[in-house]
Structure 1
Amino acid sequence: MNQAVQKHIPEGCMQDSKGRWVPVETISDIDMVRHELVCEVARKAQELQEAMRDFKMNTLGDVEAFIDLSAEKYGVSIGGKKGNVTLISFDGRYKLQRAIQDSISFDERLQAAKELIDQCIHRWAEGSAAEIRALVDHAFQVDKEGNISTGRILGLRRLSIDDEQWKQAMTAIADSIQVTGSQTYIRLYERVGMSEQWRAIPLDLAKL
């Protein structure tokens, strides 16, 4: 808290959740202990968060440097955006993965794909059309935020349907895909004994 803010704090008072200044002597012991506990845990969590952020950035830098070093052995320079990488320790005990996951959305051509699919379903004979209609309707459903599930939409492209209009719809889906950003992940694993099984080293508090 900076000095400018501190000058406005009435002596012997604490601010409550509604922004009111409350004399410390009127605050119960249990409320004060609760306040100190929560603030202390929050402070430690913020320090841990900063340490984890530094760990991730340092690890990403180390991995990038190693990739460049390895490439130099073959007289090449790796430029541009690099993809997923898996590194395993010499003794096979630990595995380090750098994974880059793209965030995608769909532009207006997705609506053209939906119209083509609807035309396919109307044109096809009854029977399997009902099942495909249910699958398509499910794929194009939106969540509470109005977002379409990219997984369900892309899942339609895995259907093996030999129909030119359907294939045209699948092309429209592919053309509508827009990469809106990417997220880089660091994942660590430890081998379970001498088996081929790997156990994740969790960095998520909920998984510890």
Structure 2
Amino acid sequence: MADDVVAEAAAAHAGIVEAGGHKHLRDSKGRLIPLGMIKPQRLLEDEMVRKVFRFALDLSAQVARFKGHTFADLNSFQTLLEQHYGAKQGGEKGNVTFSTFDDTMRIEVKIADILTFGAELQVAKKLVDECLVEWGADSHEALRALVNRVFSVEKEGQINRGEIFSLLAMEVEDERWQRAMGAIRDSIHVTGTKAYLRFRMRPDPQASWSTVAIDLAAA
């Protein structure tokens, strides 16, 4: 009986559905397709994707637990320091670095603002476009390239946030440009903060730092 339960659980996890005494897979439209009607390569692909996905889900859960435990440990240590020095406890933690005694391992906590952009951004875009049209195609080429990167949108309202502060730092005397930059500044709203972890290490105190990659994109 126990073996039957285990077998049923394994089959469900593999996407196999028992119906009418036969095994099926559900297609993208929700229809049950008998295994015998599915090409062998598609069955192998389905099995491979499900196997890799199980590892991905397990790893994702493990990373989430690790992140939670790490922040808990770091916050506990900061609380101990606050108690030791008689500082007021509680409140948000700021940017801070923790290191080993020999300074070969560091944990950095970075607090970044979460930004959103209001309707003023579209007004700024119109003013910027007016400036670029009047200046002509051959003038301010570097500035024009930066503007194109900032407002390189795939759908309305999106901007390249990484470049927008470079745009604000540009010195242009045109009065409309100044109004556009003012509109961009007015459009920026801080809606919260997010904490990021970075792990760095080096073989000895004289060596260069290397970052321990945890996310798949940087691994």
TM-score bin, normalised by smaller chain:
0.7 to 0.9
| Secondary structure in structure 1 of the residue aligned to 2:85 | coil
- Conserved 8 A contact 1:68-1:77: no
Opposite residue 202 of structure 1, the aligned amino acid is: A
Alignment equivalent of 1:103, drawn from 105, 110, 114:
114
Q: CA deviation at 1:130?
A: 4.0
Gaps of 5+ in 2: 1-7
For residues 139-169 of structure 1, give each alpha carbon's deviation from its aligned partner in whole angstroms, at most 9, with x where no partner exists: 5523213311223322122124567775554
Aligned to 2:168: 157
User: How large is the Cα RMSD of the aligned pairs?
Assistant: 3.7
Normalised by the length of structure 2, the TM-score is 0.70
Could you say which residue in structure 2 is the equivalent of 1:69?
80
1:145 and 2:155 equivalent?
Answer: yes
Residue ranges of structure 1 left out of the alignment (5+ in a row): none
Judge conservation of contact 1:97–1:187 (CA < 8 Å) in 2: yes
In 1, Cα distance between equivalents of 2:128 and 2:38: 66
Q: Percent identity?
A: 30
Aligned partner of 1:73: which letter?
H
Per the normalisation by structure 1, the TM-score is: 0.73
Distance 1:159 1:78, change over 3 A: farther
How many residues matched?
201
Q: Which structure's relative contact order is higher, taking Cα pairs within 8 Å and 6+ residues apart?
A: 1
2:3 maps to none
1:200 pairs with 2:211 = yes
Aligned amino acid, residue 173 of structure 1: I
Contact 2:102–2:205 (Cα < 8 Å) also in 1: no
> 2:5 maps to which residue?
none
Task: Give the aligned residue type for 1:85.
Answer: V
**Structure 1 residue matching 2:108: 3-state secondary structure:** strand
Query: C-alpha distance in 2, partners of 1:83/1:108?
Result: 30
Give runs of aligned pairs for residues 8-157 of structure 1, distance below 5 A: 9-10=18-19, 11-18=21-28, 19-23=31-35, 34-114=45-125, 130-131=140-141, 134=144, 137-138=147-148, 141-146=151-156, 147-157=158-168
Q: Are 1:109 and 1:172, in contact at CA under 8 Å, matched by a contact in 2?
A: yes
- Shift in CA distance, 93/132, structure 1 to aligned 2, threshold 3 Å: closer
